[in-house]
Structure 1
Amino acid sequence: MQTSTAADTRPSAVPQQPATTEAPATGQWSGYHVIRRNGAVVGFEPGKIAIAITKAFLAVNGGQGAASARVRELVDNLTQQVVNALLRNRPNGGTFHIEDIQDQVELSLMRSGEHDAARAYVLYREKRAQERAHAPAVASDPHPTLNVTENGARRPLDQGALRATIEAAGVGLTEFIDTEAILRETIKNLYDGIPVDEVYKSAILSARSLVEKDPAYSQVTARLLLHTIRKEVLGKEVSQAEMHTAYADYFPTFIARGIENGLVSPELAKYDLPRISAALKADRDLQFSYLGLQTLYDRYFLHVRNVRIELPQVFFMRVAMGLALRETDREARAIEFYEILSSFDFMSSTPTLFNSGTLHSQLSSCYLTTVSDDLEGIYDAIKENALLAKYAGGLGNDWTPVRALRSHIKGTNGESQGVVPFLKVVNDTAVAVNQGGKRKGAVCTYLETWHLDIEEFLELRKNTGDERRRTHDMNTANWIPDLFMKRVMEAGDWTLFSPSDCPDLHDKVGKDFEVAYLEYERRTTTGELTLFKKMPALTLWRKMLSMLFETGHPWITFKDPCNIRSPQQHVGVVHSSNLCTEITLNTNDEEIAVCNLGSVNLVAHMKPSANGGFELDHDKIKRTVTIAMRMLDNVIDINYYAVKKAKDSNERHRPVGMGIMGFQDCLQMMRVPYASQAAVEFADRSMEAVCYHAYSASSDLAQERGRYPSYEGSLWSRGILPQDTLAMLQEERGGHVEVDTSSTLDWDALRARIKQNGMRNSNCVAIAPTATISNIIGVSACIEPTYQNLYVKSNLSGEFTVVNDYLVRDLKKLGLWDEVMVADLKYFDGTLSRIDRVPPELRKLYATAFEVEPQWLVECASRRQKWIDQAQSLNIYMAGASGKKLDETYKLAWLRGLKTTYYLRTLGATSAEKSTGKGGELNAVATGSTSVAASAASTAPNLPEPEILGAVCTMKPGDPGFEECEACQ
């Protein structure tokens, strides 16, 4: 019984119609068929589903009860849920077996809590099954022949070839899978005359439905999908064994087709294509999970009139060749780049994967801008947002310089409307310019905490109030100076100003900011400044946290650590971060900061340790990071820049952002719980290694290619490395910095080499969310804890069952992985905490994100931030959120020296515990992490008065906004 997805009540991509209307076999549902038990194929008619559900209610309530408005509405809703569940995996047509439809009806009744009707339906099915079992046998052909249709001709289905394809997909996985079960399920869903392409779609869906039994089925599904992709690209069925020569033969053809159709740069034809083709490794196609390969197919592979012309290894080589265009020995470098991409050791960011080697080589991930305080500057900034977003880039806008509401406008002698009306235009521009038609545009607006419009800024994402002053599609973030945090700690007052009255505050940091700010506060007492507002700092802090809890915005980011610890403080000021809060680069009226991203897969850099566990392979990390830094540096020179200010800035400072992913996987390999001191130590040591080799590689590149133009005067040139800046931060703050400063590598030797060679890049390291690229290679995203051990992931490619491979292997060793365990995991939303038969050490090791206290996330992040010259995209997960817990967590983040935080993801009180009531009876895999509503009654001890915080942040995996940082990764 296929129960891998919960009923989906969100808008569906498939055509909708009233559930109780019996649709004809032609028209809307003409591409869908139902296979009856006798093998007959009939048209799919949702109206018959409504009739079956109605009969279940008739059996319970009688005629009058079933005719009530409530039941009629419920039947409509349940029918639509069943239709959605069925069509979710077949958006373009297909077949359903009658048993699968009945399974979904049964599940929908149970999920809705209509247990009496469900029971009546189950009994009816059982009665009919018994009647069929006792009915006289009807003579039939014991070996019926199924025919398939191909190119208009009918021929018998070659079941031997189908079996061979399924068995080939299971090679190396037979310990975990049952190929016969896939074959049986596939044939069950076939009918006479079925198009041959539908046969292999049926095989894919059959394997996919078994993923919850063992994650190895995800690889099998990917290989079956690969079979259909090969046929699409190569025009014929090709086996895995034949792909070794097929790849070499096809690659020059791909280059020619790509150039002919205006997709691939003609420069790629100038490579030694036989040498390049010979380097392609077909066996690496077998690494993919279904989610990873489907994502590549849907969103990354080049296509001509919707027919793909790329295969996985062709794709990776195209990207590698595009990044090696300016190299002296282009072939050798392209093959070197291909090796670390195709082996999943390192993955470039999404814009690079989209556009490398194409005619539009916009390869950068993030753009940061500062908006000037005049109408021309404001609309120039909005135009720049649109141009930069067109070819896939995440945007971070600094709006602090724009004068506040009621500020004087000298040119018209009028009063300003403030920042908010312009932000509505920014919001609508992000929606209108949808990144080349590939995904929604994404922007984050930053505002400093002293800005007079800050209170209204905090409310931009609320669902109530004047819609003209709301921005539901734009992200927002607080840019908080240290002085504000000190006032919060001391329960002092805070004064809001208009930047038109105190423009220098925008560029001042640390002690200089504090001196200037105190002077402006003095002027309010003398009457020199009349436009201001004074309030308790705690009141504003409480509102910040309340809005963060209620809407997920604005995020909490810290201005002074970003600047005081910046290697480039000699040539400017960091005025904001980017869309995902990991980039901290200077911006001004003349410079738009740009960053190019990619991430090291830590899982691929683990090796067996002497004690029988796993440890980091430092030699491999060095090799991968060295090659990857070269790739990232190449992006700067190859990149297409839609705006000159971005080109000038990027070539002057040459920043890049090397990140990591798979952190949680590594912990589970080492048998280390996330909520432990050992995990904190691993965060420290792993980040130290990546940063050490990244800075070393940049210095080596400087020796080979020259230093970046603005190098002189930087912290690098003064022998100050990122970990050294913690002392600078402590000195500027006058304390309030509590960070471990231990190290294990020879940093003195690296200092000496940097002093001699300089640096090729002003900034080298930033941890981005890796929302999509971690899906491609099948590891946990960046530094995230496990979301759930079993759930359904929704993204632009569809819905995918995700199972924790490490957990399944452990439970199988203990004899605990069975259908009951799967059902329990579904019931308890993918957590082990309430499943008593699982040993305590496993429950602790596989604790999910909301079971890990947020302090552990902060502590791990603090150890990483010690080494990073930019920042990290850090989500805060919090179950049972309260004012006190929020207050303590974000204060701890500030004390631990973090530069930024990202989304607050809270677990609603209604999801916190399962009981005998409605909500978990059906063992449905949850499609999200949060409940829509919850409240928290307690608040921080030092807040002025108790406050009930509002609804939880409803962002979760699968929501449109959850993966908007794919704009970066």
Structure 2
Amino acid sequence: MHTETSPAGDTANTTHNNPGATGGSGGLAATAPGQLRVIKRNGTVVPFEDSKISVAITKAFLAVEGGTAAASSRIHETVARLTEQVAATFRRRMPSGGTLHIEDIQDQVELSLMRTGEHKIARDYVIYREEQARKRAAKASLSQETQDAASAINVVQANGTRVPLDLDRLHTIVSEACTELEDVSEAVILDEALKNLYDGVSADELATSLVITARTLIEKEPNYSYVAARLLCDTLRSEALTFLGVARSATQGDMTQLYARALPAYINRGIELELLSPALGNFDLERLGKALLPERDLQFTYLGLQTLYDRYFIHSDETRLELPQVFFMRVAMGLAIEEPDRNARAIEFYQLLSSFDYMSSTPTLFNAGTLRPQLSSCYLTTVPDDLRGIYGSIQDNAMLSKFAGGLGNDWTPVRALGAYIKGTNGKSQGIVPFLKVVNDTAVAVNQGGKRKGAVCAYLETWHLDIEEFIELRKNTGDDRRRTHDMNTANWIPDLFMKRVFNGEDWTLFSPSDVPDLHELYGRAFEQRYTYYEAMAARGELKLFKTVKAENLWRKMLGMLFETGHPWMTFKDPCNLRSPQQHVGVVHSSNLCTEITLNTSADEIAVCNLGSVNLPQHIGENGLDLDKLRKTVRTAVRMLDNVIDINYYSVDTARNSNMKHRPVGLGLMGFQDALYRQHLAYGSAAAVEFADRSMEAISYYAIEASSELAGERGTYSSYQGSLWSQGVFPIDSLQHLVDQRGADYIQVNQEQTLDWPSLRARVLETGMRNSNVMAIAPTATIANITGVSQSIEPTYQNLYVKSNLSGEFTVVNPYLVRDLKARGLWDSVMVNDLKYYDGSVQPIDRIPSDLKAIYANAFEVEPRWLVDAASRRQKWIDQAQSLNLYINNANGKKLDITYRMAWYSGLKTTYYLRSLAATGTEKSTIDTGTLNAVSNQSAAPVPAACSLDDPDCEACQ
């Protein structure tokens, strides 16, 4: 990039506003006696010129107020007055002439701006001077050898032209990247990056060199993750702004003006390319452009921004059109498109998303504002027991999966192997051959190339095919009866668990003989099930099998340990606590086990997800309830809007969603919230925080949905629901206790907020949504916002994360912060953490209190995970994606843990994590193998196929 001479005689990037430079032209000038002279920073002396001061102050005003006609007159008059004041000050001080330093002039300009009330201009002027000082310091710190080498480098541009390396611009970019970050060095980045350059390096390689240099330093200092993200953002700006015709390149400082221009250019071009909905053109783009906040680009970690770039930003022929704040505004506009005051709501939604206080789910981020806004996350179906219905369900899977929906299929109604088929006078092949087709369909339909299709099949434990179903993910046996790419889950009645506890028998049936068991739960199920057992004992049913309940349970646990499937989910708590039990039955959960909605042949359940970023709501005194309430109110409105805007590829999904309007507000960053309060995950205090934080989210979410009902009306099936009876999730917990029996459950029912007044409000106003809460895994959106996923404990304190965007060093910034505070963070500690696979427990010099706080997922006793989940579950009308981590897992540990999960009132569990899958190479950065990944597992974590699972290629 070419340069120009600033009023101070310094070289400045032409794309950068230069409000801080004042003085004369470069070179040594002869001056007459009595004339004022200026010493520049390079030591040269030049005449003092009023016009140079005027130009510098004018640039400062233009940088803040712009060059509109309305502002022009005021700026001209104000600049003239300020210039005269500054010049008069020095002439008064030195009536006989003399020499002053350029810094003296800049100090006086700054003082004059403050005295005349131009505080915003003065603030930007001060910031600019500080940036320039940092750049000069960084340049001075470079070795002469490096500077000499840089002067000999030419950069090949995209059009093939060669231009000299613009070292000043590199200083600007790196300086901005390091702004307000502790323990990072501009000089280290520049020095190291320049060593790897050569004459003829491409512009892309130059940018990559800076990013990679910052990446390699992350394990030593987590703040380099922010530096790497900001350096990457420079590349993104060049790509998007050039494509949109706004600018060829820009610094972060330039985006104060350029973002406002980029938004309308992006919307118009996106509509022209048929990538965006034409309805976005109806917004006030000038108003929305001015609402964009460039400084929020600085919040990203490298992993977060790279993930957005690789998978979320809209592109044309692999060229990204979107920049981070434009991306968030596009999503906000897409969600506000049917609001009466769409511009104000778009700004409100944008401010929430871009602050990272809340994040919409991946399908919403992918598709909001596009021609096919498939914004919903989860679809649940029931497969009927006839051939046309079975293949119709598989077709529904394909259509729903095509536009980025995760699927949960209830297969319990389909008759078992050996069951009679009246139409052909033959016998059924059972569910397994059909599941093989479902598996292959999920692989074939890859969600627009953004991620693989993903589905989970559910089967009740009394189904005669349950033993074959349990073995679907085995790597041995007849491969025609295996499904290696899909998920499976047990749908377990309470009666089965009671039989396991009591060492009793269990009977397997074909649903064609006992069809009503599928629709029953609680005591009604127990009565009907024992009735069918009696029929079988009398010989009135021919197709059945009797097994020891404990033996089947052990087989379920064994396959869970060996293959990771089927997951353990519990039918009765899902139904007994469902607000919608008056209009249907919950027959399964979804792909990630957090959604519990009714399904039938006529209704495909749909759920729309988003997550509160919990650590963003932690203040000095713990949970900031006022901020949380504000966040939840806006979030619930956004989720409710999804229902009306969403693109439905299947009519039964539309009918169900419009009728019941369920949403799933969850949370992420639970572990970060504990770190901010210095609480150990494995502690009673953490369990109490899980209780109190979920109680607050539940309270505000119900309140927000009720407020929306007052504005927009209740959902159509509201009458007869638990809500309409004043029964909230905390109240439905007693229903479960009563139906299951107090001997088989132990749950905490304490509450602290004013629930009676909220019940009265809901009874008066109603609810907009049949279901309001669900905690999803949030792996990818947690990456975007730079926090721990969902309710998970820390995986490791230092490790390499691999996903579709590449490999990323992840180091726990909270641990680094606390070790620094105690003088313990150094290169030896980095090596120790790598050697011990991110564990602090074996490192003697780490104090015991920090060892407790920074215990990793496999060092936290599973009971703490279950206890915290149990406390949350009492407040949630749906469920939570709960991974269970068990170190040195064996049959006894699994048995105890999963019995405890059921006994504690949980509705579902998710993956079993038995051992870590990968770890960092035990070497230092100097070996060049920083990002090597080594297998550490004797019994590896199973390959996942969930949309938001942290270790799943399909999910990332």
TM over 0.5: yes
CA distance 1:155–1:143, shift in 2 (3 Å): closer
> Within the alignment, does 1:888 sit opposite 2:896 as a pair?
yes
CA distance 1:252–1:525, shift in 2 (3 Å): same
Check whether the contact 1:373–1:401 (CA below 8 A) recurs between aligned residues.
yes
1:798 to partner: Cα distance: 0.8
Q: Which aligned pairs between 1:781-820 and structure 2 lie closer than 5 A?
A: 781-820=789-828
Q: 1:761 aligns with which of 754, 765, 769?
A: 769
Check whether the contact 1:929–1:957 (CA below 8 A) recurs between aligned residues.
no
Check whether the contact 2:831–2:922 (CA below 8 A) recurs between aligned residues.
no
SS at match of 1:751: helix
> Larger Cα Rg: Structure 1 or Structure 2?
2
1:306 to partner: Cα distance: 1.1
* Higher mean C-alpha displacement, 792-801 vs 897-906: 792-801
Q: 2:836 aligns with which of 825, 828, 834?
A: 828
Residue number in structure 2 paired with 1:320: 332
Residue number in structure 1 paired with 2:27: none
SS at match of 1:571: coil
Check whether the contact 1:874–1:901 (CA below 8 A) recurs between aligned residues.
yes
CA distance 1:208–1:953, shift in 2 (3 Å): closer
CA distance 1:684–1:867, shift in 2 (3 Å): same
1:578 to partner: Cα distance: 0.1
Hey, what's the Cα distance between the residues in 1 that align with 2:772 and 2:187? 50
Q: Deviations over 1:839-867 (max 9, x none)?
A: 11101100000000111000000000000
Q: TM-score, normalised by structure 2?
A: 0.82
Check whether the contact 1:573–1:586 (CA below 8 A) recurs between aligned residues.
yes
Hey, what's the Cα distance between the residues in 2 that align with 1:925 and 1:956? 26
1:378 to partner: Cα distance: 0.3
Hey, what's the Cα distance between the residues in 2 that align with 1:956 and 1:213? 31
Check whether the contact 2:945–2:953 (CA below 8 A) recurs between aligned residues.
no
CA distance 1:183–1:458, shift in 2 (3 Å): same
Hey, what's the Cα distance between the residues in 2 that align with 1:667 and 1:382? 43
What amino acid is aligned across from residue 687 of structure 2 in structure 1?
A: V
Residue number in structure 1 paired with 2:417: 405
Hey, what's the Cα distance between the residues in 2 that align with 1:365 and 1:784? 20
1:466 to partner: Cα distance: 0.4
> Within the alignment, does 1:187 sit opposite 2:194 as a pair?
yes
Q: Deviations over 1:478-517 (max 9, x none)?
A: 0000000000000000000000000000000000100110
CA distance 1:668–1:966, shift in 2 (3 Å): farther
What amino acid is aligned across from residue 759 of structure 1 in structure 2?
A: M
Residue number in structure 1 paired with 2:63: none
Q: Which aligned pairs between 1:394-793 and structure 2 lie closer than 5 A?
A: 394-609=406-621, 615-735=622-742, 736-793=744-801
Check whether the contact 2:943–2:952 (CA below 8 A) recurs between aligned residues.
no
Unaligned runs of 5+ in 1: 1-137, 610-614, 934-950
Hey, what's the Cα distance between the residues in 2 that align with 1:926 and 1:537? 47
1:818 to partner: Cα distance: 1.2
Hey, what's the Cα distance between the residues in 2 that align with 1:274 and 1:143? 42
CA distance 1:268–1:837, shift in 2 (3 Å): same
1:160 to partner: Cα distance: 2.2
Hey, what's the Cα distance between the residues in 2 that align with 1:464 and 1:921? 37
Hey, what's the Cα distance between the residues in 2 that align with 1:472 and 1:560? 29
> Within the alignment, does 1:159 sit opposite 2:167 as a pair?
yes
Q: 1:847 aligns with which of 849, 855, 875?
A: 855
Aligned residues: 801
CA distance 1:793–1:693, shift in 2 (3 Å): same
Q: 2:911 aligns with which of 896, 903, 906?
A: 903
Check whether the contact 2:947–2:954 (CA below 8 A) recurs between aligned residues.
no
What amino acid is aligned across from residue 868 of structure 2 in structure 1?
A: C
SS at match of 2:415: coil
SS at match of 1:717: helix
1:407 to partner: Cα distance: 0.4
Hey, what's the Cα distance between the residues in 1 that align with 2:193 and 2:625? 46
Check whether the contact 1:549–1:906 (CA below 8 A) recurs between aligned residues.
yes
CA distance 1:964–1:362, shift in 2 (3 Å): farther
Hey, what's the Cα distance between the residues in 2 that align with 1:536 and 1:898? 24
1:590 to partner: Cα distance: 0.3
SS at match of 1:518: helix
CA distance 1:658–1:930, shift in 2 (3 Å): farther
Check whether the contact 1:400–1:451 (CA below 8 A) recurs between aligned residues.
yes
What amino acid is aligned across from residue 451 of structure 2 in structure 1?
A: R
CA distance 1:955–1:427, shift in 2 (3 Å): closer
Hey, what's the Cα distance between the residues in 2 that align with 1:764 and 1:885? 34
1:165 to partner: Cα distance: 1.3
Q: TM-score, normalised by structure 1?
A: 0.81
Check whether the contact 1:301–1:310 (CA below 8 A) recurs between aligned residues.
yes
Aligned Cα root-mean-square deviation (Å): 2.1
Q: 1:209 aligns with which of 198, 205, 216?
A: 216
1:825 to partner: Cα distance: 0.6
1:873 to partner: Cα distance: 0.2
Q: Deviations over 1:908-931 (max 9, x none)?
A: 7x999x9xxxx9578987977974
Check whether the contact 2:150–2:165 (CA below 8 A) recurs between aligned residues.
no
Hey, what's the Cα distance between the residues in 2 that align with 1:727 and 1:155? 74
* Higher mean C-alpha displacement, 731-740 vs 954-963: 954-963
Q: 1:858 aligns with which of 850, 859, 866?
A: 866
Q: Which aligned pairs between 1:143-154 and structure 2 lie closer than 5 A?
A: 145-150=152-157, 151-154=159-162
SS at match of 2:607: strand
Q: Deviations over 1:326-366 (max 9, x none)?
A: 11101011100001000001000000000000101100000
1:524 to partner: Cα distance: 1.0
Check whether the contact 1:405–1:418 (CA below 8 A) recurs between aligned residues.
yes
Hey, what's the Cα distance between the residues in 1 that align with 2:148 and 2:677? 57
Q: Deviations over 1:755-813 (max 9, x none)?
A: 00000000000000001000001000010000011111111111111111111111112
Hey, what's the Cα distance between the residues in 1 that align with 2:726 and 2:933? 47
Q: Deviations over 1:577-624 (max 9, x none)?
A: 000000000000000000000000011111112xxxxx0000001000
Check whether the contact 1:368–1:578 (CA below 8 A) recurs between aligned residues.
yes
Hey, what's the Cα distance between the residues in 1 that align with 2:203 and 2:719? 66
Check whether the contact 1:826–1:926 (CA below 8 A) recurs between aligned residues.
no
Unaligned runs of 5+ in 2: 1-144, 243-247
Hey, what's the Cα distance between the residues in 1 that align with 2:328 and 2:150? 46
Hey, what's the Cα distance between the residues in 1 that align with 2:376 and 2:845? 49
Hey, what's the Cα distance between the residues in 2 that align with 1:352 and 1:158? 40
CA distance 1:869–1:958, shift in 2 (3 Å): closer
1:156 to partner: Cα distance: 1.8
CA distance 1:660–1:927, shift in 2 (3 Å): farther
Residue number in structure 2 paired with 1:72: none
1:149 to partner: Cα distance: 1.5
Check whether the contact 2:150–2:167 (CA below 8 A) recurs between aligned residues.
no
1:240 to partner: Cα distance: 1.2
What amino acid is aligned across from residue 719 of structure 1 in structure 2?
A: G
Hey, what's the Cα distance between the residues in 1 that align with 2:828 and 2:842? 14
Hey, what's the Cα distance between the residues in 2 that align with 1:427 and 1:178? 51
CA distance 1:544–1:762, shift in 2 (3 Å): same
Hey, what's the Cα distance between the residues in 1 that align with 2:475 and 2:793? 30
Check whether the contact 1:826–1:925 (CA below 8 A) recurs between aligned residues.
no
* Higher mean C-alpha displacement, 644-653 vs 236-245: 236-245
1:960 to partner: Cα distance: 11
> Within the alignment, does 1:954 sit opposite 2:929 as a pair?
no
What amino acid is aligned across from residue 405 of structure 1 in structure 2?
A: L
Q: Which aligned pairs between 1:861-880 and structure 2 lie closer than 5 A?
A: 861-880=869-888
1:961 to partner: Cα distance: 6.9
1:877 to partner: Cα distance: 0.5
SS at match of 2:506: strand
Taking only the aligned residue pairs, the percentage that are identical comes to: 64
SS at match of 1:416: strand
CA distance 1:301–1:896, shift in 2 (3 Å): same
